[in-house]
Amino acid sequence: MARFIKREMPDLNKDGNPKVYYKMETYRNYSHDEFVKYMIRGGVGISASMVEAVLTQVTEKLADLLGMGYTVTIDGIGTFSTKLGPSRGKEVEDLEASKGKRNAASVEVTGVNLRVDKELVKEINRSCHLERSGEQRIQKSPYTEAQRLERAKKYLETHGQMTILTYSDIAKLSKSSAHRELHKFVKDPSSGITYTGRGPTRVFVLQKENNE
C-alpha cells in the first residue's frame, strides 16, 4: 500500500490561501541488485546475468547516442534527451554582454531529461493503491523580514560570511525560502548584504561600505 503526504505550498499570491500539493511517501530506495532480483522473480525464464547484461548495454548505448546529440525513445519508459549547462565553476552567461566569449570547453552535460511515456504513468496508476499519510506545513519564521535582515547582519559582523544553510537556521526559514530571501537582499543595495564566490563556493557578506 502506497502512502501520500499533503504538503503546503508557499502563498505566492499573498492572499492568505496557500495551496497544497501531494507527494508520494518513499519507503526507501530499491538498489540495483534488488531490482535485478525483482526482475527475475516469478520464474519468467531469464537469469540475473541476462538482466545485468541487458541493463549494462542499455546504459552504455543510451550514453553513446545521447552524447552524439540524439534523443532516445524506449517504448513503455519514455524519451531521453541531454541537458546542457555551464561547466562547474562557470557562471551562466549574459546573452549580449558575453557574446562570442563562451567556448565549447565551458559547456558540459549537466543532466538527462526524461519525458515519461504516458503508458508508463497509466501502468503505475493501475498498480498504485493510495492511502493518506499526513500533512507537512511550511516552516514559518517567528521573525519579520526586517528582523531577519538584522539578525543576518549581526551574524556577519561577527563571522564575516554566511551560507544559505546558516541563514536558514538563524532566520528560521526553510532552505528554499532562505535562498530566495538572501537573493532579494542582494538585489536591494540598502540591505547592506552582497555575495562573493561562485556556484557552490558562494557565500554572503556585508557590503564593503558597511565594513569600513
Which CATH number does the domain housing residue 199 bear?
Answer: 1.10.10.10
Average pLDDT value over all residues in the chain = 86
| Whether residue 95 has pLDDT greater than 60 | no
Which percentage of the chain shows pLDDT scores above 90? Answer: 58
- Residues 9 and 135 sit within 8 Å (Cβ to Cβ): no
| pLDDT for the residue 21 | 79
Q: Are 178 and 123 part of one and the same domain? A: no
Q: What is the DSSP string of 138-195?
A: PPPPSS-HHHHHHHHHHHHHHHS-B-HHHHHHHHT--HHHHHHHHHHHHH-GGG-EEE
Range of the domain at 127: 2-135
- Residues 109 and 87 sit within 8 Å (Cβ to Cβ): no
Q: Is residue 41 situated within a structural domain?
A: yes
- Residues 157 and 169 sit within 8 Å (Cβ to Cβ): no
Q: How large is the average pLDDT for residues 1-12?
A: 76
Residues pairing with 94 in the sheet: none
| Whether residue 12 has pLDDT greater than 70 | no
Q: Are 29 and 89 part of one and the same domain? A: yes
| Whether residue 42 has pLDDT greater than 90 | no
Which of 14-28, 75-89, 149-163, 173-187 has maximum average pLDDT? 149-163
Looking at the 3D structure of the chain, how many domains does it have? 2
| pLDDT for the residue 167 | 95
**Residue whose C-alpha cell reads 562570442 in the numeric block:** 100
Q: How large is the average pLDDT for residues 8-33?
A: 78
Cite the beta strand spans of the chain per DSSP E.
Answer: 2-8, 20-24, 72-74, 78-86, 107-116, 130-136, 193-196, 203-206
Half-sphere exposure of 39 (CA within 13 A, CB side): 17
Question: Which pTM value belongs to this model?
Answer: 0.58
Cα 136 to chain centroid distance, Å, stands at: 19
| pLDDT for the residue 103 | 65
